[in-house]
Every structure is written in structure tokens, then in C-alpha cells.
Amino acid sequence: MLPATDYIAALATPVGTSAIAVVRASGSQVVELVRTIFGSAPLPRTAQHADYRDLNGNVVDDVLFTWFAAPHSYTGQDTLEISSHGNPYIAQKILEDLLARGCRSAEPGEFTQRAFLNGRMDLSQAEAVMDLIHARSERALLTANQQLRGSLGRKMTELIALLVNILAQIEAYIDFPEEDLPNENKQALVVDIEILLKGTNQLMATRHYGSLLREGIKTVILGEPNAGKSSLLNRLVGCDRALVSPEPGTTRDYLEERIIVGPHALRLIDTAGFNLAPSPLEQRGIEKTLEQAVEADLFLWVIDASRPLVQLPSVALNHMTPANTIAVINKVDLTADQFHSQLPQNFPIVRVSALVGTGFVTLQNQITQLAENFRSDIGDEIIAINARHAQALDLAIQGLLSAKDKLQGNIATELVSSDLRSTLNSYGEISGKIDNERILDQLFASFCIGK
């Protein structure tokens, strides 16, 4: 439980000149702080215009202030928000005065930490706050908003409820050993565990999408030298980011830029061309290209429309499919499509001119279409777990598989219970909320023990 007298304060807006700056304070009975500074406290959630006077009675600024009464605030405690003019000196003066009045400087993330500790959100929602702040695309924003509203928490609640029910049944037999566990009950428990495994694996499958949302879809531009790969990157980025030259082999190392295409964020990577007779330096560049290809999510295979098709190395082709690759036929402004029969027919094809911009709307639409394939919906909600969630789910899966094997092998029920409790703890690491007393409540409600 947080100390009743522990007040924290911090700037809630970035440091720098702006129209408005917000200073926030949180702690039990912040309303007394409001009365001390402003003379009276308006109704909660009511903005009030007033002068902010420091401890010496000097006017720092005219501000709008609002206080939120516990538990109906972001942190679950009384909370004060002060909106001043966006001069960083003014905001700092207000913050310093709050500290002089007994507040403590908030640690990073401490307002959200208090929200979690006071039951205003679960741990997955607290993590979603950071995802929301750092979202760099429409899809990342949508997913973070859904998780902030409890999409992952609801799925975990469903899994935990079923697991608690299984544990209650198993521990009833442990507590009353004279009652043997019938074979048909074991089979029913195995079926329930398989349902848990299916749901847990569904969540685990969203990890890659979560990584794409947070880091961007790794999109590798590859092809032969002088096909226009760097020109394509420049056109998509909107500026001359890569050096372009009619001399083949200009790009010796990969170059990365982040862009937005439709609702998606992309990590766009320009690579060295695949030269059939490379110099030693070009060969090193080609090796780096292959390293990037192995880890790519999407490929833009740039093909020179004025020359016969040059096949890519098998190391790259083995990772390219119609679901993750677009054949980009470049330089269509310079030549007729005389090599149409040689084009890769199994990939989506888009014809462009990186020089004049022809076909780039179509290319962006095609990229968006392929990027949508990564989306991971579970029911009506988009869920994208992070690495911490994945680690906990992996442990949960191990516990479920072990419990299933023990049930099917007629191994001691106590060991099955141990595996399932381990799974319950792993589930709890995601939401941050596991109450083992729920198992006892479920046990008594289901079996009427002691009646």
C-alpha cells in the first residue's frame, strides 16, 4: 500500500516551449494541497481559472487547475493537474513550488505504476500506455488502444477462469484422497487443458505482429545492380536519402529508413545489388544483403524493365513468397515491356518509374495489402503481445503440456496440480493479478465441500 502522505509531482508534458504545459501531482488528500495553493477546492473534475502563487505569495502564472478525487483518477489517488502557459521556466517554477510544499519528484512511470497498484489497470494495460505513447502508425495506435481498453486482459481472464476451474477440481481430489479421480474425469480435464493450450498458442502467435508494430515491418529492397533500388527508396522516403549513380554497385552497404505506408510503419532497407561478378568489396555488400534477406518480413524485388531478368540467389529466393514479395518492374518510362515473358509470374507485379513517380500509388496499395496479412486478430480484437508476455506464455505452455502428459500417464494428481499452478503463475505475470484464494472459492462453490 502506498504511504498516505507520499505526494509525487512531475511535468506531464515534454520540456520545451509550447502553448500549454501540464504539471501533475498525485497522493492521498491532494485536495488539501489544492486549498493551500488556490484558497479553495472546486468540485472534482471541474476546471478552474486562478493565479498560481508560490509559498512566498508571488504570482507565478495564471493557470487552469483540475483535481480528481480518489478512486476516480488516473492513479486511483487524489490527483491535481495544473495547466500553465508553455514557458518551460514557468512550468519548472510551479514544479519546484510543489516540491517545496512537500511533494516528491516522481520516478519514471510512477503515475502509471500507482494506477496499476491501485487497481485502475492491469499490467498489460500499463504496458499499453507506453505502446500508445510510442505508436508510429495507425495499426500500432489501434492495437495499443485496444490493449489499453483490456483486450489482452480479457483473453487472460478467460484462460485464468478455465484454469482455476481445472485446479479446483484436481485439488478437491487431493484434499479428499478417498475419492479416486475417475478416468472419464481425467479425459474431461485433458480436453479442458487442450482448450487452454489452443488459446495460449493463439496469443503466442501474435508476438511477431507485436514486434512489427513496435519496430516496423522490415522491408528489404533487393535486385541486380543499377536496377533502381536506391531511387525507389528515395521516392518512397520522399527525399534523396540514398546516393544514386548510373555506375553499377554504388550501394556497398545497406541503408535503413523508417516510413509510413498506409496504416503501417516500415523499416525500409536498401541493399547492395546482386552482381554475378562482384569485386571483393561488392561481395561483402552482397553478403550483408543476404543477411538482411534472411530476417526480412517483406521484399521489394526491383527489376530493370530494360534488361533481361536476372535471377536472385537461392538464399534470398527461399525466403520469398507471393505473400511477402512484390516484383517491382522499374524504369517503365524508358522502355516497352519487352521482357514480359521472363517476369516472375508467381509474385504480385507492380510497374513503376522511380525517376518520375509512375505507379507509386499502386505500389503503396500493394504494400499495404501484403502488410495486412501480418495482422493478428483473435475474435473481434487485435492483440499483439510483447517479448515479456511471450516469455510468460511459453512457460505456461510448458506447464500445460506437462500437466496433460501426467494426466494421460496416470501420474500423481499432486504433480499435475503443481504444473497447473506454475501455469497460473505464468498467466498472472501478464496481467499482474492472480489471487490464489479464487481457487479455494471455486472449490467450495463447485463441490459444496463441508456441507
**What are the tens digits of pLDDT across the range 130-188?**
899 889 899 999 999 999 999 999 999 999 999 999 998 888 777 766 555 566 678 88
pLDDT for 450: 30
pLDDT > 90? residue 9? yes
pLDDT for 157: 92
**What are the tens digits of pLDDT across the range 392-441?**
999 999 999 999 999 998 888 889 999 999 999 999 988 876 655 554 45
**What are the tens digits of pLDDT across the range 261-299?**
999 999 999 888 876 655 665 667 777 778 888 889 999
What domains can you pick out in the chain, each with its CATH number?
8-120 (3.30.1360.120), 138-206+383-447 (1.20.120.430), 220-369 (3.40.50.300)
pLDDT > 90: what percent of the chain? 56
- Give the chain as a 3 state SS string: CCCCCCCEEEECCCCCCCCEEEEEEECCCHHHHHHHHHCCCCCCCCCEEEEEECCCCCEEEEEEEEEECCCCCCCCCCEEEEEEECCHHHHHHHHHHHHHCCCEECCCCHHHHHHHHCCCCCHHHHHHHHHHHHCCCHHHHHHHHHHHCCHHHHHHHHHHHHHHHHHHHHHHHHHCCCCCCCHHHHHHHHHHHHHHHHHHHHHHCCHHHHHHHHHCEEEEEEECCCCCHHHHHHHHHCCCCCCCCCCCCCCCCCEEEEEEECCEEEEEEECCCCCCCCCHHHHHHHHHHHHHHHCCCEEEEEEECCCCCCCCCHHHHCCCCCCCEEEEEECCCCCCCCCHHHCCCCCCEEECECCCCECHHHHHHHHHHHHHHHCCEECCEECCCCHHHHHHHHHHHHHHHHHHHHHHCCCCHHHHHHHHHHHHHHHHHHHCCCCCHHHHHHHHHHHCCCC
pLDDT for 443: 44
Give pTM, 2 decimals.
Answer: 0.80
